[in-house]
């Protein structure tokens, strides 16, 4: 099987290394680079048309990232009868139904295991569960970069900025880490996962709050309450309604999520007959992601089809399907926005009891307009009240 790689950055070069040192049934015969990139290998070319029109090339691996020109390149590859494997979660989250339909029209495969969970075989196992079960919950740590930052802030007692710099040095974070620390990367992975689980086209907008504003003081306060902070993506289905949210969430220090360290991911699904399944592994890095791409290449080589989805279930998005508690660190003048809610003050932070997720995220946008450095986190599961996860000393009931 002859393969062309589009883009030769961290992931693309990792794919090349694994193939070059692995199964002789696979060979990379072309590497597409931008004109500004020096051609340092004989396989490198700036001529995409030559790759598309080469009848000997069976599969195109897209590792360029971003929406454009990746969207056009993937479509052209499928239309030219090439299988496509990609790690590009942004383009898959937006165009998954289109790519799947075009691949079917041209009798080729479109696979994307590497978009979600890094080296974890999450997509493949989610598809397997969805063949039998109605999946009603997807939840977990989907981003290795943000997990590394939060873990190091907690266990090494470091500030945000030096940990982010270390994440860049280790290859976990991009030069522009916005997608990781602002939650957009998790949003895309959650959209892909929910689309497969529920067989529907994901919504355009998902409530999302990242970790950019978290401080060492926040982490230290949570630790004093025996709580650990993680950036979580969660989707829940109830009948023909479903929710999706990305937000920081506090876990008991004994919980599995709290003990998921470094760049590792921990993702779970719940199905009606299988119950809970949890998947753990490296969620960022050159070779874990490249490994997932090569797994898809093996599925194409060995004619192992993936789950066939039409993405046409008429489900309704409901941002308020989940109700939980939140802790807010902000200018106290913003606390008045929550006067109609049951609240408590804990160490100058406001705990808001049992508020719908969508409502909290809307109110948080108002808080940020007043205090751009404000931070919030969900507390435990929806069944847990603040008193179950925060110590009660020196609290003042204000609502």
**Which SS3 state, helix, strand or coil, does residue 390 take?**
coil
Alpha-carbon distances, residue 151 vs 143, 173, 216, 228 (angstroms) = 12, 15, 11, 9
Judging by beta carbons within 10 Å of its beta carbon (0-12, 13-18, 19+), is residue 166 exposed, middle or buried? middle
69 prior amide bond cis, ω within 30: yes
Closest CA relative to residue 100, chosen from 254, 267, 308: 308
Q: Is 275 left (phi over 0), alpha (psi -120 to 50) or beta?
A: left
> Which two structure tokens, joined as six digits, stand for 321?
């399907």
Strand 375-379 to 323-329 pairing: antiparallel
φ/ψ (deg, to 5) at 67: -85, -40
Judging by beta carbons within 10 Å of its beta carbon (0-12, 13-18, 19+), is residue 352 exposed, middle or buried? buried
Closest CA relative to residue 77, chosen from 63, 66, 90: 63
Distance CA 247, CA 35 (A): 39
Distance CA 348, CA 345 (A): 6
> Which two structure tokens, joined as six digits, stand for 137?
């919950």
**Which SS3 state, helix, strand or coil, does residue 271 take?**
strand
Distance CA 103, CA 94 (A): 16
Contact 228, 221 (CB under 8 A): no
3-state SS of 118-185 is CCCCHHHHHHHHHHHCCEEEEEEECCHHHHHHHHHHHHCCCCHHHHHHHHHHCCCCCCCCHHHHCCHH
Annotated catalytic residue within 94, 189, 191, 236: 189
Would residue 189 show up in a list of annotated catalytic residues for this protein? yes
Give the active site residues: 189
């Amino acid at each position: 099987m002859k393969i062309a790689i589009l883009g030769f950055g961290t992931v693309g070069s990792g794919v090349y290394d694994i193939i070059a040192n692995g199964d002789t049934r696979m060979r990379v015969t072309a590497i597409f680079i931008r004109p500004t990139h020096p051609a340092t290998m004989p396989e490198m070319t700036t001529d995409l048309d030559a790759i598309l029109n080469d009848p000997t090339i069976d599969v195109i691996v897209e590792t360029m990232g971003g929406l454009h020109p990746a969207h056009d390149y993937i479509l052209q590859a499928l239309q030219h009868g090439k299988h496509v494997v990609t790690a590009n979660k942004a383009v898959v989250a937006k165009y998954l139904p289109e790519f799947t339909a075009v691949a079917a029209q041209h009798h080729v495969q479109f696979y994307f295991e590497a978009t979600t969970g890094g080296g974890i075989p999450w997509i493949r196992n989610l598809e397997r569960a969805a063949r039998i079960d109605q999946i009603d919950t997807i939840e977990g740590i989907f981003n290795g970069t943000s997990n590394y930052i939060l873990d190091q802030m907690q266990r090494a007692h470091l500030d945000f900025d030096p940990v982010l710099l270390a994440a860049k040095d280790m290859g976990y974070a991009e030069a522009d880490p916005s997608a990781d620390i602002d939650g957009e990367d998790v949003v895309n992975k959650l959209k892909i996962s929910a689309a497969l689980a529920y067989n529907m086209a994901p919504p355009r907008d998902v409530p999302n709050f990242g970790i950019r504003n978290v401080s060492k003081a926040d982490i230290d306060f949570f630790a004093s309450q025996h709580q650990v902070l993680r950036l979580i993506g969660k989707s829940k289905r109830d009948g023909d309604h479903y929710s999706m949210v990305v937000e920081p969430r506090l876990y008991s220090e004994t919980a599995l999520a709290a003990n998921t360290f470094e760049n590792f991911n921990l993702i779970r699904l719940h199905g009606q007959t299988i119950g809970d399944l949890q998947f753990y592994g490296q969620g960022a890095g050159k070779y874990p992601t490249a490994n997932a791409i090569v797994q898809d290449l093996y599925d194409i080589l060995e004619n192992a089809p993936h789950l066939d989805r039409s993405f046409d279930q008429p489900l309704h998005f409901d941002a308020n399907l989940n109700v939980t508690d939140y802790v807010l660190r902000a200018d106290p003048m913003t606390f008045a926005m929550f006067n109609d809610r049951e609240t408590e003050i804990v160490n100058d932070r406001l705990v808001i009891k049992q508020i719908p997720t969508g409502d909290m995220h809307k109110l948080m946008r108002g808080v940020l307009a007043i205090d751009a450095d404000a931070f919030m986190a969900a507390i435990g599961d929806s069944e847990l009240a603040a008193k179950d996860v925060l110590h009660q000393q020196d609290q003042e009931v204000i609502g």
